[in-house]
Amino acid sequence: MAKIQHDLEIKFGTQYGKEEEEAVLRVLRNNAPTSGDECIAFEKAFAAYAGVKHARVVSNGSSALFLSMIGIGIKPGDQVLTTPITWIATAAAPVTLGAKVDFVDIDLETYNLDVKQIDAHITPQTKAIIPVHLYGQPAEMDEIMAIAQKHGISIVEDAAHAIGAEYKGRKVGGFGATGCFSFHEQKNISTLGEGGMVLTNDDAIFERISLYRSHCTRVHGVSTKYCKLNEEKFPIGKKFWWQDFDDCGYNFRMTDIQAAVGLEQLKKVDQFNQKRIDHAAFITEGLKDMAGLTLPKPRPYNKHVFHLYPVLIDPKEFGLTKEDFIQDLLYKYGIKAGFHYIPLHYSTAFKERGFKKGQFPNAEKLGDQLVTLPINPRMTEAALDHLVKSVRSLQS
């Protein structure tokens, strides 16, 4: 097996610098609290960056999605629509609250939800749609928002792949009732391996998300650091306070060390994304004439931030199946390609909920033929060149 190329091996490439190191030490020396001033500062900066009224930091992207379902009032028996080509967290959020998920097939040009097929899946029980801005390319938000308006249903954006991505000049995460972000180590920015953020312009949704994030704790009287919501209502300095729990909630909080790192990462996100965009252009240029490969074609009105670089392989024309492509790239050239994703309706979780192979042909085509090539801001020109040459030599 070829030695794995260093730059390609670290395939998602979280990049921390001196600023993050200093932030960690600063907060550590300040007793490394949870949900303190660093979290509030990260939320403010993130909301401003995305152009949205409220932001709440959470433990990860999955809890952002779960809290969003609570925020919009998803209940047992409700139905939520999403794509079968996503990480299971997207579909698990409504399911773990007792709701039903129905999948809508994807569009073969963007790999996002096929907006023409959504209407056919809407029932009286449909309460929400979760579009995923897959691989960093925004979903068709005009059409999706129009469908939501027509049927009176909510949109929760899964923007785990897409921090900084833009649809028609507007950043994702602020179109729907909420926008959910992940700072997992594989994402375009990270908060020490795990982390997430929920955005919303809706005060009531923000309050519900904030409460359920932290055991629905409501502090009456003087506010505590865990209940910033009450600060405005109860001036600090009152002599008494008492605590109540509105309901049974969760602990989906983030620590201040993570938030301090997130603040520094946020300052660099546009620069990281630009590198991803430039790297994607280099790969596209290097592979564009190859038979049997379909390369990403971002919609002209989208800013695609290339969390991943997807390539569709036609096995007859290219001469290799997806599995052989992945194996040969790894064993001959030391490059780890990925498959994102195995369609969710193939999983035990969703087969047991009545889904069958054959229901979503476009998603299944991706399941059979799509690989994701390594792309990250720290890839050097030499690494990119090696990647392109290696893919090219697979065909010779």
Ligand X SMILES: Cc1ncc(COP(=O)(O)O)c(C=O)c1O
User: Would you tell me which residues interact with ligand X (CB under 6 A)?
Assistant: 60-62, 86-87, 89-90, 132, 158, 160-161, 182, 184, 196
> Considering just the CA atoms, what is the radius of gyration of the chain in Å?
22
Q: Which is nearer to ligand X, 68 or 210 (CB)?
A: 68
CA atoms within 13 A on the CB side of 75: 2
Residues pairing with 251 in the sheet:
214
Q: Which string of DSSP letters, residue by residue, matches 131-154?
A: -B-GGGPPP-HHHHHHHHHHHT-E
Q: How far is the CB of 160 from ligand X (least distance, A)?
A: 3
Q: Which is nearer to ligand X, 69 or 384 (CB)?
A: 69
Q: How far is the CB of 88 from ligand X (least distance, A)?
A: 8
Q: Which is nearer to ligand X, 293 or 296 (CB)?
A: 296
Q: Which is nearer to ligand X, 86 or 154 (CB)?
A: 86
Q: Tell which residue, 87, 68, 75, 198, has the closest CA to residue 132.
A: 87
Q: How far is the CB of 38 from ligand X (least distance, A)?
A: 19
Q: Which residue is nearest to ligand X, using beta carbons? A: 61
- Residues 219, 234: Cα–Cα separation, whole Å: 9
Q: How far is the CB of 69 from ligand X (least distance, A)?
A: 13
Q: Which is nearer to ligand X, 343 or 391 (CB)?
A: 343
Q: Which is nearer to ligand X, 303 or 386 (CB)?
A: 303
Strands 370-373 and 178-182: unpaired
Q: How far is the CB of 154 from ligand X (least distance, A)?
A: 17
- Residues 324, 337: Cα–Cα separation, whole Å: 11
Strands 126-130 and 154-158: parallel
Place of tokens 């029932």: 123
Place of tokens 């492509």: 325
Beta-carbon contacts of 311 under 8 Å, excluding residues fewer than 6 positions away, are 287, 293, 294, 295, 296, 370, 371, 372, 373
Q: Which is nearer to ligand X, 182 or 362 (CB)?
A: 182
Q: How far is the CB of 138 from ligand X (least distance, A)?
A: 13
CA distance between the termini of the chain: 19
Q: How far is the CB of 390 from ligand X (least distance, A)?
A: 26
